[in-house]
Structure 1
């Protein structure tokens, strides 16, 4: 660690006329108290610089820490009972909507399953019709068409009956819930 005041080469003069006319006696000796005072001042400056560096290192992330601490204050101001109450209110508000969406999804899935069954029935009927030996007479063609029409009517009737059954089941569930609440 080098002292600023004991550098080997003096600094150049800023005066235009040269440094000779301003320089005092070259053999003049500094009093020992002045040298000690300069060294103590330099030590203080170094300590202040180190303290400033330490302060910078400790506070460079102050904005992030401020944000973290303000978000924690929210949780410190609200007690656990209030949080539970708001959570229960939110559950009461959202749960019926979620149940309705689930019911709609189940109905849609059942409708798709029914349509899949109808299509599968049509495919099976078409495969059966193709596997039968075809005759050139119009009577067999008409009977195949009549059979396909009959299968389609039965499938449609089955679909309507299933929808009616689901409606009745839903009504029974609602009546059971009303009976349980009373």
Structure 2
């Protein structure tokens, strides 16, 4: 208690907390005389008040430091995601289980794709055969065949015109089939190696027949 009475508080020397004039216009005469005596406990009360203010300030500082991050912590706690750390052995185990589960399905899909590819190859072979037969039955060029209708009867001329239209229709069908075969070849070339399915163009077929 004796040491406390001799110390000087930091707040007591601050200009903001310096003594000020009394707001009371009158007071007992005993306090205005030169022989007025202050209470011996006044200094002790002031020091106790300053200590209380200092402790309140320190407590407020601690509370502020402990709660300034509260909004961020609240958002973290409101998050419903759960993060779990696992070891590498567990990861490998689950990968092996997943492989065992989906491998039969993948193999089944591969087998179905191969069967579908065989069907497409058969269809392509049939179309190629049909094109060869059409190429064998059509002339090499439209302009190469000219028919002289001089002296022919009208029925013969109509027959020739019908044959000409039939020939043009067959040529158009052959061209359409050729485009379809080319499309199938482009699709199959992305699935199997070129050595499995050689491609022969119409020009090469004609050269082979010669």
Between 1 and 2, higher relative CO (CA 8 Å, sep ≥ 6) is seen in 2
Which band: TM-score by shorter chain?
0.3 to 0.5
Max radius of gyration: which structure? 2
Q: Please, what TM-score do these two structures have when normalized by structure 2?
A: 0.39
Q: Please, what TM-score do these two structures have when normalized by structure 1?
A: 0.44
